[in-house]
Amino acid sequence: MQTLWLYLHFPHLQLDGLTDASESAEYPLIILHDKSNTVLQLNQAAIDAGIRRGMGLGTAAALNEHLQVLAYRKDVEHKKLLEIAEHLYLVTSDICLFPPDGLLLRIHNMLRLYGGLAAYWRTLKAQLAHFPVYYHYATGQSPYAARILSRTAWNQVSDHLPMHKHQMGLRALSESELDEKTINKLKRVGIHSIGDLLGLSLKDIAKRFDIDLVTYLGRLTGEFHHPIHFFHPQSKFNRYLELLYEISNADTLLRPIQRLLGGLEQFLKLRDSLTHKVIFTLHQRDAEDLILEVGSAQAEYQAAKWLSLTELKLQQLQLQSPVYALNLCTGKIQLRSPDRGDLFTASKGTLSCLQLISLLQAKLGEQAIGQVILQDDFRPDQVNRYLSFQDGVAEQAKAANIDLQAVRPSFLLKEAQPLNEKVTIMHGPERISTGWWDNSAMTRDYFVAHNLHGQWLWVYRTPSAQWYVHGLFS
C-alpha cells in the first residue's frame, strides 16, 4: 500500500485560542517571544497597523499606542494541540503530535473506510470547523515531506506522488529540518534547494557528509523507516483557557467558564459519559491558584446544568487577586445509563431529587445537606442516624436490608415526656430489652395509646411503673 501522510500546521495557535476572538480583533494584539523580544503571532488589527512578524516590541509599540501584548507560552499551545488531537481522534486513528503547533496524521490506512481521499478530507475538515483556528495543510509520501509542504502553506490534499516531489523540489533548504551548519555545507557545494538535494543519490551524499544527512534524506523520500509515536487520548477532560483580560470579579468569570463547560459537554456527549464533579483551577496573578470544586449528586454532562451549579458556587467566592487563566478538569467519569421510566410515569417537575440536592449543596455547602439513615438497633433513640448526603449514600445500601418494626410513630420526641393525661391502650405491649453491650441498657414496654383529644401516642412503661410519651402517630 502506498503510504500517505497529512500534516496540519497551526501558525498562531495561542492567538486563536484566546477567550474571545471577536473581542481580540477590535484592537492590535501580538504574542511576543520573551527571549528574542520579537513578534511571533499577531491579529488582523495589528497587521493593519503595520506590525509584522519578527518585528521588535519597541517598533511595534511605536506603530500603535493601543497595542496589547501577551507573552508567548509554549505550554498553552501544547494544551490546545492536545484538545484538537482528542477531537480528531473521533474520526481518524493514527495521530502524532509535533508540539507546539503541528499534527501529523497517517491516512493511507483510513481511505478505504471513508471511500477515498476526498471524503476523508471532508470529514476531517468538518471536525476542524469546531475550533476557531487557522491552519495550513498538505499531504506527502513521508512525515517530513508532508510537514515541509504544510509549513510552507501548500494547502493541497493529493495522493499524486510526482506532484509531491515537484513541490518539494521548489522549497529552499532553510524550510527543511536541517540545521544551519549542514545547510551552509550544502550551499558551498552548490546545493541551494531541496530539489537539488533530492537529485543526488544517497551514496554520493554519504561520501561527503555525515550519516545524519543520509538518514534525513532517506526519511524525507520515504526510503527509510521514520519511527513515529502515536497519540492516545486522555480518559478525563482537562482544558486550559487563557483569558483576554484579567478578571477581578467572580461573576465575570461565568462567560469563560461557560466556554469551558461547552467543551466538557461535547467531550462527555461524544463518549456517552457523565461525571459527578468538575474542578476549576483559577490562576491568580499575585496569589496561589484557587481551586473551585463543583459536585452534582446526579451525574451530569450538560453545560447548562453545570453552569447553574457553578454560578451558585461563585456567589460565595472571594477573589484575592485578578484571574488571568482558567483550567477545568473532571473527577471520575462513568458511562451513561438510560433513564428508567415508562409511558405511564407522570411528570413531577423539571428537577429530579438528585438535581435538587445538587443545587442545595452548591448554594449552602455540601455538609449542610444531610439525610436520615437507619441503623440495625432496636432502641428507638439509636435507630436513626443523621449523616451528610455523601456519607449517607454509602450507608444507604446497608440500611436497605434492615427490617422495620410494624408499629412505629411518624414523629419521635427528642426526649421522652412524662405521661400526664388519661389515655386508652389500643395496642401492646411490645417489650424492648437491649443495649447491655454498650452500657446503654434499657427495658421498656411500649404501647399504642389514644387520648381524649383524638391523638395517637406511642407510650412506654418502665420496670418501676412510670409512664412516658415517646412519639406521635400522624
Tell me: pLDDT of 86 over 70: yes
What mean pLDDT comes out for the span 317-345? Answer: 80
Tell me: pLDDT of 23 over 70: no
CB–CB of 120/111 below 8 Å? yes
Calpha distance 280→153 (Å, rounded): 38
Residue 26 pLDDT class (50, 70, 90 cuts): confident
Residue 406 pLDDT class (50, 70, 90 cuts): low
What is residue 368's predicted lDDT score, i.e. its pLDDT?
72
What is the sign of the dihedral through the CA atoms of 314, 280, 261 and 322? positive
Residue 139 pLDDT class (50, 70, 90 cuts): very high
What is residue 133's predicted lDDT score, i.e. its pLDDT?
92
Tell me: pLDDT of 181 over 80: yes
Tell me: pLDDT of 136 over 90: yes
Q: Which of 124, 98, 88 is nearest to 10 (CA)?
A: 98
Q: Name the least confident of 16-25, 157-166, 432-441.
A: 16-25
Calpha distance 134→131 (Å, rounded): 9
Tell me: pLDDT of 19 over 90: no
Q: Looking at the domain 238-335, which fold is it?
A: Dna Ligase; domain 1 (3.30.1490)
What is residue 341's predicted lDDT score, i.e. its pLDDT?
57
What mean pLDDT comes out for the span 127-145? Answer: 94
Mutual orientation of helices 303-314 and 353-364 as an angle, nearest 10°? 30
Calpha distance 184→355 (Å, rounded): 68
Q: Name the least confident of 24-33, 96-105, 171-180, 305-314.
A: 24-33
Global pTM reads 0.69
Residue 320 pLDDT class (50, 70, 90 cuts): confident
- 3-class SS letters over the chain: CCCCEEEEECCCHHHHCCCCHHHHCCCCEEEEECCCCEEEEECHHHHHCCCCCCCEHHHHHHHCCCCEEEECCHHHHHHHHHHHHHHHCCCCCCEEEECCCEEEEECCCCHHHHCCHHHHHHHHHHHHCCCCCCCEEEEECCHHHHHHHHHCCCCECCCCHHHHHHHHHCCEHHHCCCCHHHHHHHHHCCCCEHHHHHCCCHHHHHHHCCHHHHHHHHHHHCCCCCCCCCCCCCCCCEEEEEEEEEECCHHHHHHHHHHHHHHHHHHHHHCCEEEEEEEEEEEECCCCCEEEEEEEEEEECCHHHHHHHHHHHHCCCCCCCCEEEEEEEECCEEECCCCCCCCCCCCCCCCCHHHHHHHHHHHHCHHHCEEEEECCCCCCCCCEEEEEHHHHHHHHHHHCCCCCCCCCCCEEEEEEEECCCCEEEEEEEEEEEECHHHCCCEEEEEEEEEECCCCEEEEEECCCCCEEEEEECC
CB–CB of 31/14 below 8 Å? yes
CB–CB of 84/103 below 8 Å? yes
CB–CB of 14/44 below 8 Å? no
Phi-psi region of 365 (alpha: psi -120 to 50; beta: other; left: phi over 0): left
Domain coordinates in residue numbering, the chain: 5-27+67-221, 238-335, 369-404, 411-472
What is residue 345's predicted lDDT score, i.e. its pLDDT?
57
User: C-alpha grid cell for residue 301?
Assistant: 454532562
Residue 342 pLDDT class (50, 70, 90 cuts): low
Calpha distance 329→261 (Å, rounded): 10
Computed over every residue of the chain, the mean pLDDT equals 86
CB–CB of 228/102 below 8 Å? no
Span 260-285, pLDDT tens digits: 999 899 889 888 899 989 999 999 98
What is residue 403's predicted lDDT score, i.e. its pLDDT?
57
Q: Name the least confident of 38-52, 135-149, 368-382, 432-446.
A: 368-382
Top mean pLDDT of 293-307, 351-365, 388-402, 428-442 is at 293-307
Span 343-395, pLDDT tens digits: 555 555 566 677 777 777 777 776 777 777 777 677 777 676 777 666 655 55
Top mean pLDDT of 14-18, 290-294, 338-342, 355-359 is at 290-294
Span 147-157, pLDDT tens digits: 999 999 999 99
What is residue 94's predicted lDDT score, i.e. its pLDDT?
94
Q: Which residue is listed with cell 502515536?
A: 230
Cα–Cα distance list, 281 to 114, 238, 321, 323 (Å): 40, 11, 14, 10
Tell me: pLDDT of 24 over 70: no
Span 63-74, pLDDT tens digits: 998 899 989 999
What is residue 461's predicted lDDT score, i.e. its pLDDT?
92
